[in-house]
């Protein structure tokens, strides 16, 4: 992880054009899906971020050969599984658990390291483990790993307590080669999951997905073959660049951005007083203060995504009056707020469910709602980034602030965004990496 820092001199409007890269949260899962076949898989539009780098290391340790990995078109071949015991990786993310299904199908047993990822609350994997268990997999938690084995993996009828992205992906990657039918009720239906399903279908999988009812049926097949698949544009990147433009009273065009899965964000931008102009080749975002106060509740797709609340919170510091963000996906995702307050924002967090609706954190002591009173002037500060999307909030606040900000811990940001500093500089930002 990079130990460097970003030095940002704020107050410049972002203007011009940038290109959105492929989604890291789709690409990494598609890389794992390639382990389900001995045949080569070609993945187009892979972003060269820290996260794809870590996942590449995982696949290579398992036995994958990669070509083209210096560009965005990777060919991944795993004719043999060199080992299904994946030792603890020096650089962790939340992907290893997803490799269990493919490794079990190819080897009958597997061991993967415990998960890392952003510190944004309790992040249990009980839904993954219970689902795999119901499909005939025995899993043992060891000191630093999960050991799993199965004689035969079979279909199961599964009901998730919450539409978990990762657990839905785990079951997809296991169910495609299982004996019989697996049904997921209350499945996550994020566009990144549909991207993965598209790839699996092209490999020969038989999957029916009903997004409205949150129901996915996977009819197990005997084998899967090679594929050529394209990673969808990164929705989080679009949101990050768009909010940076709006927070600086800028005007940017994001080439290759699409409206797919962005409705809730577009609606929020318009309610705030900004504009989104969807074109065939991308989306233009612009806005000028005064911005209107808003109430936002995060939710699984098609709701307002939890990954968008941090950049949007910065925008709300510039809105007139008291805005609310009610975070219903993660229990501890307001860690960045104290730094924004240090920069001049007026934000308080509470364990209450603000905004009118109660969520599953009601009655617990998690600070999962924020009240943001604006508009407030932001001033540059020295900040250490606690996690990926929080890091983006700090970046946007620094871009909008008066004076200089020094942002440390930028490895978190590099994990999710490729060449972020270069791309912001091209839009007029005064940013240096040191």
**Which residues are known to be catalytic?**
118
Site string for ligand EPZ, 21-40 (x = CB under 6 A): ----x---------------
Q: Is 250 within 8 Å of 13 (Cβ atoms)? A: yes
Classify burial at 419, counting beta carbons within 10 Å of its beta carbon; exposed 0-12, middle 13-18, buried 19 or more: middle
Q: Which residue lies nearer to ligand EPZ by CB, 25 or 72? A: 25
The SS3 of residue 219 is strand
Q: Which residue lies nearer to ligand EPZ by CB, 29 or 423? A: 29
Choosing from 162, 206, 277, 288, the residue that interacts with ligand EPZ (CB under 6 A) is: 162
Interface with ligand EPZ, residue 99, by CB under 6 A:
no
> What is the Cα–Cα distance from 222 to 127, expressed in whole angstroms?
26
Interface with ligand EPZ, residue 127, by CB under 6 A:
yes
> What is the Cα–Cα distance from 316 to 79, expressed in whole angstroms?
51
The SS3 of residue 232 is coil
Interface with ligand EPZ, residue 118, by CB under 6 A:
yes
> Within 374-413, which residues bind ligand EPZ (CB under 6 A)?
388-389
Binding-site size for ligand EPZ (CB under 6 A) equals: 24
Interface with ligand EPZ, residue 94, by CB under 6 A:
yes
> What is the Cα–Cα distance from 211 to 219, expressed in whole angstroms?
17
Q: Is 434 within 8 Å of 4 (Cβ atoms)? A: yes
Question: In this chain, which stretch among 35-43, 126-134, 147-155, 361-369 interacts with ligand EPZ, using CB under 6 A?
Answer: 126-134
Site string for ligand EPZ, 274-313 (x = CB under 6 A): -------------------------------xxx------
Q: Is 145 within 8 Å of 192 (Cβ atoms)? A: no
Classify burial at 385, counting beta carbons within 10 Å of its beta carbon; exposed 0-12, middle 13-18, buried 19 or more: buried
Name the minimum Å distance from CB 90 to ligand EPZ. 18
User: Which tokens hold the place of 263?
Assistant: 């409705």
Instruction: Return all residues near 303 (Cβ < 8 A) that are at least 6 apart.
Output: 264, 297
Interface with ligand EPZ, residue 329, by CB under 6 A:
yes
Question: In this chain, which stretch among 165-173, 257-265, 288-296, 342-350 interacts with ligand EPZ, using CB under 6 A?
Answer: 165-173
Q: Which residue lies nearer to ligand EPZ by CB, 359 or 378? A: 359
Residues that bind ligand EPZ (CB under 6 A): 25, 94, 118, 122-128, 162, 164-167, 188, 305-307, 329-330, 388-389, 416
């Amino acid at each position: 992880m990079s130990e460097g820092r970003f030095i940002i001199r704020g107050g410049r409007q972002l203007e011009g054009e940038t290109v959105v890269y492929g989604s890291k949260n789709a690409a990494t899962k598609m890389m794992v899906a390639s382990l389900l076949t001995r045949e080569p898989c070609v993945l187009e539009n892979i972003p060269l971020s820290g996260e794809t780098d870590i996942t590449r290391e995982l696949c290579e340790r398992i036995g994958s050969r990669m070509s083209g990995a210096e560009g965005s078109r990777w060919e991944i071949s795993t004719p043999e599984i060199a080992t299904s015991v994946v030792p603890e990786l020096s650089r962790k993310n939340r992907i290893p658990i997803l490799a269990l299904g493919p490794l079990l199908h190819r080897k009958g047993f597997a061991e993967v390291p415990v998960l890392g990822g952003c510190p944004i609350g309790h992040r249990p994997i009980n839904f993954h483990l219970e689902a795999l268990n119901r499909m005939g997999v025995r899993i043992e938690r060891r000191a630093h790993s999960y050991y799993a084995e199965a004689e035969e993996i079979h279909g199961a009828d599964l009901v998730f307590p919450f539409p978990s992205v990762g657990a839905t992906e785990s079951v997809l990657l296991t169910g495609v080669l299982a004996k019989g039918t697996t049904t997921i009720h209350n499945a996550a239906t994020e566009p990144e999951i549909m991207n993965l399903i598209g790839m699996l279908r092209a490999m020969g999988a038989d999957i029916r997905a009903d997004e409205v009812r949150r129901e996915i049926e996977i009819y197990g097949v005997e084998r899967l073959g090679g594929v050529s698949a394209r990673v969808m544009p990164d929705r989080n990147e679009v949101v990050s660049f768009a909010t940076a433009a709006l927070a600086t009273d800028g005007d940017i065009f994001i080439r290759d951005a699409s409206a797919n899965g962005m409705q809730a964000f577009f609606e929020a931008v318009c309610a705030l007083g900004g504009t989104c102009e969807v074109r065939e080749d991308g989306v233009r975002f612009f806005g000028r203060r005064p911005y209107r106060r808003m109430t936002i509740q995060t939710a699984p797709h098609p709701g307002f995504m939890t990954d968008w609340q941090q950049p949007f919170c910065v925008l709300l510091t510039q809105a007139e009056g008291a805005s609310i963000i009610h975070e219903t996906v993660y229990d501890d995702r307001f860690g960045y707020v104290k730094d924004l307050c240090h920069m001049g924002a007026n934000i308080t967090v509470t364990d209450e469910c603000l905004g009118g609706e109660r969520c599953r954190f009601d009655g617990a002591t998690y600070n999962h709602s924020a009240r943001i009173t604006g508009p407030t002037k932001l001033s540059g500060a020295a900040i250490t980034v606690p996690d990926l999307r929080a890091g983006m909030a700090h970046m946007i606040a620094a871009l909008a602030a008066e004076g200089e900000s020094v942002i440390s811990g930028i490895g978190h940001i590099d994990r999710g965004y490729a060449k972020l500093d270069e791309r912001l500089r091209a839009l007029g930002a005064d940013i240096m990496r040191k």
